[in-house]
Structure 1
Amino acid sequence: MIENIRLAFQGIFSHKLRSFLTMLGVIIGIASIIAIVSTIQGTNEQIMQNLIGAGNNAVTISLRQGDGEYYMDSGLPAGVSPVTEEQKESIRKLPQAADATFYVTRSYVDGITSVNASLSSGRAMGIDTHYLSTCGYEVYSGRPFTENDYKVFHKVLLLDETAAGILFPDENPIGKIVEVRSEPFTVVGLIRKADKFQPVIESYEDYVTYTQEAYGMVLMPDASWPIVFLYDEPENCSVRAKRTEDMSSVGRDAESIMNKSVTGTGDISYRAE
């Protein structure tokens, strides 16, 4: 054994350059494999976040009619009952779900005005207390909605950055009045996407994809929604999956639970997207 080791070292010392180049080649090869695998894993994760999860693993389950969103201003849909608390808890307790929020919405609402400006085709939403955290928003000025806002039906609003800039271009919106279909609401907070949920935009096409519907958004407590809109409107749902890989399965499961509220036989149903 000792003789073999001695002969091996003699061989190394007698062929130093060849041995060095061999070891260098092995090291470079291993490093290249590690770099390629890391790049592929990172690229796959980024693609999954950008194309599927938009950074926060949220799946939306919305009420659809045919291929489009149900137009709620045409009236309450026949054969669709309000989502029950039991259904909501069942969705929140799904093993793949980190959290879930339920809300009512209008995609394009006219009649949202401040003293000197109006929000043309803005989006209005009536939200629960889970919405901001589930969908990746933060309040960067003012305050979020409180339990008392829901309890006593306060007419208060949160504005996103686009709505705030349009309605109040030269002043602080906090404490100001915004009318929603002639009903006065007080702005109590401003929201924006949290940094960790910002999508990665690497081209002009990405920019268009993420901004084409940025007309501005106003949020009110869901308890106050019927002051302006309709009572017992069907709610939509957003579920935040624990992992990007869980989004498809949690979307299917939540869709199935939401569709327990649909008893009609027409083309109206909840669908995950």
Structure 2
Amino acid sequence: MLENIKLSLQSIWAHKLRSILTMLGVIIGLAAIIAIVSLIEGSSEALKKEIVGGSNNTLELSFATKAEFNSPDGSGTTGNEKMPDYMEAISEAQIDELKAIDGLKNVLVSYNAWGKMYRHNRGVDMDIRAVTPDYFTIYPTKGIKGRQLSQQDYLNNSQRVILNEFAYQSLFPDGDGLMKMVEFNGTPYQVVGVVKLSKAFTNAYGGEDYAMAFVPSGNWPQIQGNIDPQPTISVQAEKTDDLQRVAEEASAILNASLPESDYMYGVYNMGDMDGQIEEFNQAQFYLLGGIASISLLVGGIGVMNIMLVSVTERTREIGIKKALGARRGTILMQFLTEAMVLTLLGGCIGVGAGLGIAAGLTNMMAYPFIVSIPAILGGLAFSLLIGIVFGLVPAIKASKLDPIEALRYE
């Protein structure tokens, strides 16, 4: 066998250009399949992280009806569900209890509202959030003008606000808004800073053209306009795999102190969503993989063609070997091995090219680069199979040559 491999490599090296052109179909087909698999797995992982926990393993707990959690499509709701009579603000004791959950890294409590923020007669629709200092450890921002909210602002519940770029430019087209006053829900706030939100944050909340403002957490009654707080709870897990469990445990702790009602904190089961993502990716793979497989088929036909040519060119060599006592099986294995080595070399080059293409594409699309070992091993095995299937006919033809006729061949 080793002797056959050595002879095969010598033959391939002797006809380098012809061999490379023959391998091209296998190379292109396998490179396409490896790149497709890596790209699909990378996009799937990115989508799961975005849906389940963003880029930092964070999940926002939902406050919805019990029927809605039982049927995420909302089919179980009637529209007449009873809200809690009174919801108390989340206490420090509850936060400490949440932080004791195994696998939980951080917990955030914020109070969100939507409405118009005004500067004189100029109004801008705004997503305003009353936040704690920890908010910006999970959702980091980059200061552009002025300053961030200070510890003193949080302690005193100061009526200070920081705006994102879009909100600032919309309210102050001349860019002179620092230390000026704005008004939201009848309460004045002083603009102390302008920030740039992270790309992941802007993608999750409507893109660059999305106005946001942040005030100290104690201002929640002013921004929500009532004394019945409706907090938004975000939990951050150490690992993505623990996020669902951590969120469910956190929801159970919060629900224990809720007044009797049809509403509860909860998190939708991501298992069904994962299944839907996998089904979608599988459909994509079958479609794109089928197209790429055509290249492998064309490559296999090219291998058969070149091996038939090789048999014809080496007719006298075959005749001499048979005259010296070489068996049919020996000749068959020699040419079959050559076809297998040819396609396996093409497979190895295709795997390398596919990984390179995948790395470039995933980097360009900001997906994680995932190397699929099963796809690589399966691709190499498939390329070997192509060598066997398409090299069998030329090998059988070579083994059946009559030695006398072969020696007469010019």
Q: Please indicate, yes or no, whether the TM-score normalized by the shorter chain is above 0.5.
A: yes
Which ranges of structure 2 fall in alignment gaps of 5 or more residues? 69-73, 75-82, 269-410
Residues 139 and 88 of structure 1, relative CA distance in 2, 3 Å threshold: farther
Distance in 1 (alpha carbons) for counterparts of 2:86 and 2:202: 38
Structure 2: which amino acid aligns with 1:57? N
In the alignment, which residue of structure 2 is the partner of 1:73? none
Distance in 2 (alpha carbons) for counterparts of 1:268 and 1:9: 71
Task: Flag the structure with larger Rg.
Answer: 2
In the alignment, which residue of structure 1 is the partner of 2:115? 109
In the alignment, which residue of structure 1 is the partner of 2:214? 219
Give CA deviations for 1:65-96 in whole Å, capped at 9, x if unaligned: 5759xxxxxxx941533322232123334343
Give CA deviations for 1:220-248 in whole Å, capped at 9, x if unaligned: 10123345644462422112333443332
Distance in 1 (alpha carbons) for counterparts of 2:86 and 2:226: 16
Of the structure 1 ranges 128-137 and 47-56, higher mean CA displacement relative to structure 2 is found in: 47-56
Distance in 2 (alpha carbons) for counterparts of 1:190 and 1:90: 34
In the alignment, which residue of structure 2 is the partner of 1:191? 195
Distance in 1 (alpha carbons) for counterparts of 2:35 and 2:63: 45
C-alpha displacement of 1:154: 1.5
Which ranges of structure 1 fall in alignment gaps of 5 or more residues? 69-75, 200-208
Q: Residues 162-201 of structure 1: matches in 2 within 5 Å?
A: 162-195=166-199, 199=203
C-alpha displacement of 1:97: 3.0
**Aligned 8 A contact 1:55 1:198 in 2:** no
Q: Normalized against structure 2, the TM-score is what?
A: 0.50
Of the structure 1 ranges 84-93 and 228-237, higher mean CA displacement relative to structure 2 is found in: 228-237
Of the structure 1 ranges 156-165 and 32-41, higher mean CA displacement relative to structure 2 is found in: 32-41
CA RMSD across the alignment: 3.8
**Aligned 8 A contact 1:64 1:269 in 2:** yes
1:80 aligns to what SS in structure 2?
Answer: coil
**Aligned 8 A contact 2:130 2:220 in 1:** yes
Q: Normalized against structure 1, the TM-score is what?
A: 0.71
Residues 197 and 154 of structure 1, relative CA distance in 2, 3 Å threshold: closer
2:248 aligns to what SS in structure 1?
Answer: helix
Structure 2: which amino acid aligns with 1:118? G
Of the structure 1 ranges 89-98 and 178-187, higher mean CA displacement relative to structure 2 is found in: 89-98
C-alpha displacement of 1:128: 0.7
Structure 1: which amino acid aligns with 2:112? T
C-alpha displacement of 1:36: 5.5
**Aligned 8 A contact 1:64 1:270 in 2:** yes
In the alignment, which residue of structure 2 is the partner of 1:39? 39
Matched residues, percent identical? 25
**Aligned 8 A contact 1:83 1:234 in 2:** no
2:87 aligns to what SS in structure 1?
Answer: coil
Greater share of residues in helix: 2
- Give aligned pairs, total: 248
Distance in 2 (alpha carbons) for counterparts of 1:262 and 1:55: 31
Pair 1:98-2:105 in alignment:
yes
Greater share of residues in strand: 1
**Aligned 8 A contact 1:153 1:224 in 2:** yes
C-alpha displacement of 1:59: 1.1
